[in-house]
Each structure stands twice: as structure tokens, then as C-alpha cells.
Amino acid sequence: MSPEAQETAKNDPLCGASVYERIYAIICQIPPGWVATYGQIAGIEGHCTPRMVGYALAALNAEGVPWQRVINSAGRVSERSGGGGTATQRLRLMEEGVQFSRGGRIDFESYGWSGPDWEWIRMHGMYAVPAPGQRG
């Protein structure tokens, strides 16, 4: 590891964090009124899959992580294992100003998050990925 990389890692609060903690840190970067996909979060983290992002959200027991801002790649709220939760997620998103189509979809062009800023990505050793609905 280069001296610059060592210095960055030493100052990174996510250095040594679990994959779930890194996933939660990414999700906390999504501003109100914006959404990201499970795949986008996985791509930014760089060492997990969209399914792992879903598992991390299912295991979430911390306040302050805006879990409602993560949706599936079809632009829909995903049903939870064991059922429930979709109405709460839709309500929270609508309270943030996110609109759903009659078919229950969210338009990525209007509400798709473009990802964390470059400095945050660099500081935490993450990856820049295209916003939902965009090609890289």
C-alpha cells in the first residue's frame, strides 16, 4: 500500500468496517427525495452483491439509516421477506416528495441518485457507478 493510501486508510472511519457497515454508510449519503437501487449500492461498495444489500437492510436495526431510499432496478419497492413494509416504504418516500406512477414505479430520471461525491468515494475506497437508468 502506498504511503498516500496508508494515510487515507488511517483517516477513514470505514477502514476495517464490515460490509454491512459500509453499505449503511453509502445509504446514509442518499439525500431525501432521491432513490438508489440495490445494485447501485453494491457497485459503490464494490465487494458485495445486490442481494447482500438486501440482507443488510433486512438486518438493519439502527436508527438514522434511510433504508426507504433503496429500491429495486425496476423502480419499485420490493416486498419484504415475511411480507409487509412496502406501504411504510412508499409512505416515507412520498413524504420526501418522491412520486410513484400508477403502476407503482419511481422514475429514475426524476429521482435517481447519482451517487456520493467524488471526495467521499475516494476517501472511503469506494467506486463510482452510473446512476439508475444510466449507462456507464
For 23-66, how does the pLDDT look when each residue is reduced to its tens digit (9 = 90+)? 999 999 999 999 999 999 999 999 999 999 999 999 988 789 99
Domain that holds residue 57: 3-124
Q: In this structure, which long-range contacts are made by residues 117-125, counting pairs with CB atoms below 8 Å and at least 24 apart in sequence?
A: 120/29, 121/44, 122/8, 123/8, 123/11, 123/12, 124/12, 124/14, 124/22, 124/25, 125/8, 125/9, 125/12, 125/14, 125/46
**12 found inside a domain:** yes
- Residue range 100-120: average pLDDT? 95
Instruction: Give the global pTM.
Output: 0.86
Q: How many domains does the chain have?
A: 1
Residue 136 placed within a domain: no
Please report whether residue 134 resides in a domain.
no
Q: What CATH number has the domain bearing residue 68? A: 1.10.10.10
Residue 2 scores a pLDDT above 60:
no
* 133 domain-assigned: no
Would 130 be classed as within a structural domain? Answer: no
Between CA 20 and CA 68 the distance in angstroms is 16
**pLDDT at 10 (0 to 100):** 58
Residue 83 maps to a domain = yes
Question: Residue 43 domain-assigned?
Answer: yes
- Among 35, 30, 109, 110, smallest CA distance to 65 is for 30
Does some domain include residue 81?
Answer: yes
